[in-house]
Amino acid sequence: MNDRLPVARVAIPYRPRCSVTLHQAGACRGFLLRGRTRAERGRIVSGVGTELTEIAEDIYRISTYVEPADLVFNQFLIVAEQPLLWHCGHRQLFPSVLETLARVLPPAELRWISFGHVEADELGAMNHWLGVAGRAEVVQGSTGVLVSVNDLADRPPRALRDEEVLDLGGKRVRWIDTPHVPHGWDAGLIYEETTRTLFAGDLFTMTGRVPARTEGDIVTPAIATEDRGGASAVTPASGETLRRLASVGATTMALMHGPAFSGDVLCALGALADDFDRRLRS
């Protein structure tokens, strides 16, 4: 028996151009509003440009820089027999992201839609993607599905247990529960085993225009961003959660608000864990 509440389905027209207010683009980064004038807060960005980069074999970074928020917002497409989109993006950015994804794959061929936690840039356009991909299912961690996604998604989602693997056919993604790292109780990440890519979500958030890929320092700018905004929910378990992520053996990290990192992943996660421990003690 399906115990989900009925969901009203509303067709939302696509916009030929994308307009994003500072509040919409940075809603999940409220600290970025601090110190800005009212005019800056209400500024509109039109014709947002979205870039496409292959960061590992058949894994594509779809990246939009939003100037008023001074952040990049990234989605990631895993091309496999059952393609998966990681991060849905804001609803207002959907037309630009959709057009860019279609350069690699017909959007209707998406099979899975996933994200790390409930936040506008992670799942804002979730139901838009379900609308263009008729076979697609939302897949997320058990906590997120129980608490939020069952109600928010227009189709029943699939819940993954901690360490459960989803075989995409040619690619394998492992769900890893990371409660409160970096944000809410529902937080989790995925690790693609064949390319050793960790989709690290909001970890290592940095502001500004960033390159698509780097081997350079991502820890220092992440610490500076955290000093400015305090967006992470630091708990006694945070450091150990990051060290657990370090132990998976990733060679690439795909960041939501930063470049794809192919430097020393183990060292970077360890340094961020040490910084979280320091914050907890202070």
pLDDT digits (tens, 9 = 90+) for 173-197: 999 999 999 999 999 999 999 999 9
The residues with which 62 forms a beta bridge, in sequence order, are: 52, 75
Residues of 107-142 as b/e, b for ≥16 C-beta within 10 angstroms?
Answer: beebbbbbbbbbbbbbbbbbbbbbbbbeebbbbbbb
Measuring CA to CA, how many Å separate 110 from each of 81, 105, 132? Answer: 10, 8, 9
pLDDT class of 48 with cuts at 50, 70, 90: low
Give the mean model confidence (pLDDT) for residues 193-208: 97
Class of domain 19-281: alpha beta
Domain boundaries, the chain: 19-281
Q: What is the pLDDT of residue 63?
A: 98
Q: Is the pTM of this model over 0.75?
A: yes
Report the percentage of the chain scoring pLDDT > 90. 81
Residue 21 scores a pLDDT above 50: no
16 or 149, which is more confident:
149
For all residues of the chain together, what is the average pLDDT?
87
